[in-house]
Amino acid sequence: MAELAAIDDDKGLKPGALGLLSGIVIGVSSTAPGYSLAATIGFVAAAVAFQSPAVLLLAFVPMFCIAYAYRELNAADPDCGTTFRWATTAFGPRTGFLGGWGIVVADVVVMANLAQIAGQYGFLLFEADGPAASTFWTTLVGAVWITVLTYVCYRGIEVSARLQYVLLAVELVALAVFAVVALVRVYTGSVGEGAVRPSLSWFNPFEIPSFSALSAGVLLAVFIYWGWDTAVAVNEETRDRTRTPGRAAVISTVLLLGIYVLVAVACQAYGGLAVLTDEANQGDVLAVLGNAVLGSTFGKVLILAVLTSAAASTQTTILPTARATLSMAAHRAIPASFAKMHPRYQTPTTSTIAMGVASVVFYVGLAAISGNVLADSIAALGLLIAFYYALTGYACAWQFRRQMRTARQLLARGVLPLVGAAVLTLCFYKSARDMWAADYGNTSFGGVGGVFLLGIGSLLLGVVVMLILEWRMPAFYRGPVEPMAEPEVADDDKRVTPAS
């Protein structure tokens, strides 16, 4: 395994290009707060009524726990393959491949919806309602968005980071203005009949009517938190790569909690359940409430927020996927061509371009087949996210099972990762059972829900691909696994560094 180790240590990425702030910006941007809230908060309200803030708090718990798993694993092995690499060392090559496959498929699927939102909102910003409602024009513009942002990622990590600062700043300012104005109007009484003042009962999960409603709400909320792990995926390009990426991931999840709870409370207080649960509004709650809160002119601020959110997340979705496949190629799990690097930009060339092409093909293909299939593919994302996040949690606990000598190590390497993984596994199982029903989502095939088939089917497709690759590339799948280094913890500042 000496050759593998040499390749892994220097894949050609630009070391030290990012700092802690850049990592946090990338981590928060990757979740697309504006888009995620616009597309999800209505469905969460439909599942759990006024307990949406409680669900956001509950979903934060496994995210925070898994962020600690990423932090500990990254401290021992800062590999840009993240789940792929760590699951390989913990459970073997086949499990590792499936972890990497989960990342790649989830990112390709979400790119389709991000591109659609970017295309639609680009027209809405200029009041071009006709093209915004046209599948052809939104698909065309969405495909152009993917192409442009793929090129930005191709040009280098520093260019990508600088663009993220601008996009995230616009997005967060717009969301803050909306939330503050909405809450001020609620408390001053200058709102319609449907408004209701926030209550502490909104944060009580025990008022959720059923476990099915709870699991559905949490899985939806997990989707809106998803993406902070990009801060760890760029670990090999980050200064102090054993510490900074993990810190950025944990900080990102905490910041997201504040953003989501504030905006969710503002939406619920101003619009009430009637607006949030109206099927005509659920796909884009912020667009409806934005005009009501800020007026038609300033309401464009939220349209711009969702547009920049989708653009930022499109870019930061390309980054981790390209680096996951780069790592998989460097470790000989997939063809070596995916490990090719640009000598000047120090970015993965084949991996980045392949991600852009796959995303465009998937998006255009589903848009041409049916908007319902595209919508169900997004609904299936929760299963993919829960799968590879939970796998990372289990990998952390197993990898460090003999290295929990202090209370801090037991908590950070064992308890938190296992709690996060167990919650996500439970949500995965319960939601998969519910998704089996033919009337779940917009499509069904042979009496089985299309969401289930797309989610579970994509994971089973990964098994088929893995078996083909194992036949073609047996050295990785049947050879010995390079062990992970044991991290050391300094008692004074609890800094985690790889053992020498």
Alpha-carbon gap, residue 229 to 63, rounded angstroms: 10
pLDDT at 384: 92
Q: Is-contact 34 313, C-beta < 8 A?
A: no
pLDDT, tens digit (0-9, with 9 covering 90-100), for 20-43: 999 999 999 888 888 888 888 888
Residues 6+ apart with CB under 8 A from 276: 41, 42, 45, 46, 52, 267, 268, 282, 285
Instruction: Tell me the Ramachandran region of residue 145: left when phi exceeds 0, alpha when psi lies from -120 to 50, beta otherwise.
Output: alpha
Q: Whole-model pTM? A: 0.88
Q: Is residue 8 part of a domain?
A: no
Task: Indicate the SS3 state at residue 54.
Answer: helix
> Which CATH number goes with the domain that contains 253?
1.20.1740.10
Half-sphere exposure of 378 (CA within 13 A, CB side): 23
pLDDT at 492: 36
Domains in the chain, number: 1
Range of 490's domain?
24-498
Q: How far apart are the first and last CA of the chain?
A: 18
Alpha-carbon gap, residue 168 to 35, rounded angstroms: 12
Short-list 46, 161, 106, 31, CA closest to 355: 106
One digit per residue, the tens of pLDDT, for the chain of length 500 reads: 333 333 345 788 888 889 999 999 999 988 888 888 888 888 888 888 899 999 999 989 999 999 999 999 999 999 999 999 999 999 999 999 999 999 999 999 888 888 888 888 888 888 888 888 888 999 999 999 899 989 988 988 887 788 888 888 888 998 999 999 999 999 988 776 778 899 999 999 888 888 878 877 887 888 789 889 999 999 999 999 999 999 999 999 999 999 999 999 999 999 888 888 887 777 778 878 887 888 776 777 778 888 888 888 888 889 899 999 999 999 999 999 999 999 888 999 999 999 999 999 998 988 888 777 777 887 788 889 999 999 999 999 999 999 898 999 999 999 999 999 999 998 888 888 888 998 887 888 888 988 899 899 999 999 999 999 999 988 888 877 766 655 544 333 344 443 32
pLDDT, tens digit (0-9, with 9 covering 90-100), for 379-423: 788 889 999 999 999 999 999 999 898 999 999 999 999 999 999
Measuring CA to CA, how many Å separate 204 from each of 49, 210, 223, 259, 331? 12, 13, 21, 19, 47
Residue with tokens 């953003």: 259
Q: Is residue 16 part of a domain?
A: no
pLDDT, tens digit (0-9, with 9 covering 90-100), for 42-83: 888 888 889 999 999 998 999 999 999 999 999 999 999 999
Q: Is residue 107 part of a domain?
A: yes
Helix H or strand E segment including 190: none
Q: Is residue 378 part of a domain?
A: yes
Q: Is residue 352 part of a domain?
A: yes
pLDDT at 495: 44
Short-list 319, 386, 336, CA closest to 163: 319
Cα angle 396, 400, 403 (rounded to 5 degrees) comes to 155
Q: Is-contact 36 394, C-beta < 8 A?
A: no
